Amino acid sequence: MTDNESNLYNSTQSYATLITERHAMIKPHAHHPYQLGASLYMPATRQDIWQVIKRDKLPTINSIIICLEDSVSHSDVELALTRLQILLDNWALHVHSINEPSRQDATHLQQQNNQPTRPLVFVRARNPMMLQKLADFRHIELLDGFVLPKVDMYSLSNWRMACQNLSAEQLLMPTLETAALFNPHHNQELAIGFKEAFSQPVFALRIGGNDLFAALRLRRPKNNIIYDTPIGTLAYQLLGCFVPHGFYLSAPVFEYLDQPMLFMQELNRDVSLGLVGKTVIHPSQIALVQQAYCVPTSMLDEAQAILHSEAKAVFKYNNTMLEPATHRAWADEVINRAQVFGTINDGNSDYKPLL
């Protein structure tokens, strides 16, 4: 082996070890990213956000993101911040009547205990300076976390500084939506940077589809799913870069309300790629997202068989080879999905799990 070959081999081994070690460094948290489900952005200027949190409105929404960025005009920023503080004050007065976010169907749980369960609640700050200001808001600890827009290697240090006064328990969702994301070398640095930058867990990385289209001077076409566009190609690259480091990614918004069949096609691809949620722009999209994420019973049976303590190293199920050593990570995610979205009978289940 030549010196160059030896150096290349050592570099490859070191990089593989680095990824493995950093994958293990992912901070655990109480919620699974699949709980994002259907995520609705709500401008902070709206006055009905509290009704959504306590499920008087949109009772099945999985998560909401109170937006202080693109959906709030510059002239309304102070009004939005004032209304956010009023919301937090009101929430604090009723905190004992609102359960923790649910991993299961909210309607079912309401029937069980007659108490409302709430969606996950995040705030999207306009910029790092605003996030630093939010850290001093009364009752800001009630929020589950924050969405950080337009994060890349050029802005990461500013976001890191802005997060230093936040609770270590709050969840962060950086958004991948700048032109820098089209550079694979940049993305490898960013994946490592996310591990080292924050004291808080990185709950998921959001793919900002519309901003990425804008970087190419494009808009999402009306008659194609996003995976048939250049941003779809980028989404595959982002998955290949960030998922091996232990991160979860969420799917970009589908902005056309008159294309439900195309929306379902895109949702099916989102789910098959392991994306953990989808931003919605209208209540009519909520049920479709939740339906797409339901786990077929035959798939759940396979996952349970793979995870069973007495599973063989390789075995056949439903004319499919199952191999726990390589399928365990997939099986874990199926179980997590089923806990959040439940199952749907696909008629192909003939395995009787022993769990």
Q: What is the pLDDT of residues 93-103, one digit of tens each?
A: 988 888 678 65
Residue type, 187: N
Q: How many C-beta atoms surround the C-beta of residue 96 within 10 A?
A: 6
Model pLDDT for residues 246-281, shown as the tens digit of each residue:
999 999 999 999 999 999 999 999 999 999 999 999
Q: How confident is the model at residue 308 (pLDDT cuts 50, 70, 90)?
A: confident
Strands 320-322 and 315-317 come out as: antiparallel
* pLDDT confidence band for 135 (50 / 70 / 90): very high
Q: Which residues contact 51 (CB under 8 A, 6 or more apart)?
A: 57
Distances (CA, A) of 215 to 106, 150, 179, 211: 38, 12, 6, 6
- Which of 283-310 are b and which e, b meaning 16 or more Cβ less than 10 Å from the residue's Cβ? eebbebbbebbbbbbbbbbbbbbbbeee
pLDDT in tens, 53-100: 999 999 999 999 999 988 888 999 999 999 999 999 999 998 888 867
Give pLDDT, residue 57.
94
Q: Which residues pair with 206 in a beta bridge?
A: 175, 250
Q: Which pLDDT value is given to residue 21?
A: 46
Q: Identify the residue whose tokens are 């006055």.
A: 47
Express as a percent the part of the chain with pLDDT over 90.
Answer: 73
Q: Which residue in 154, 142, 178 sits closest to 66, CA to CA? A: 142
Three-state secondary structure call for residue 307: helix
pTM of the model: 0.85
Distance (Å, whole) CA 329 – CA 327: 6
Q: Give residues with Cβ within 8 angstroms of 92, minimum separation 6.
A: 138, 139, 142
Q: Dump strand ranges (E) for the chain.
A: 37-43, 63-67, 120-124, 145-148, 171-176, 205-207, 249-250, 277-280, 295-296, 315-317, 320-322, 343-344
* Residue pLDDT, tens place only, 197-224: 999 999 999 999 999 999 999 999 999 9
pLDDT at residue 103 in the model: 57
SS3 38: strand
* 43 DSSP 8-state letter: E
Computed over every residue of the chain, the mean pLDDT equals 87
pLDDT at site 145: 97
Q: What is the distance between the alpha carbons of residues 31 and 331, in angstroms, rounded to a whole number?
A: 18
List, in sequence order, every residue forming a beta bridge with 250; answer none if it has no partner.
Answer: 206
The H or E element spanning position 190 is helix 184-197
6-22 mean pLDDT: 45
pLDDT of 102: 63
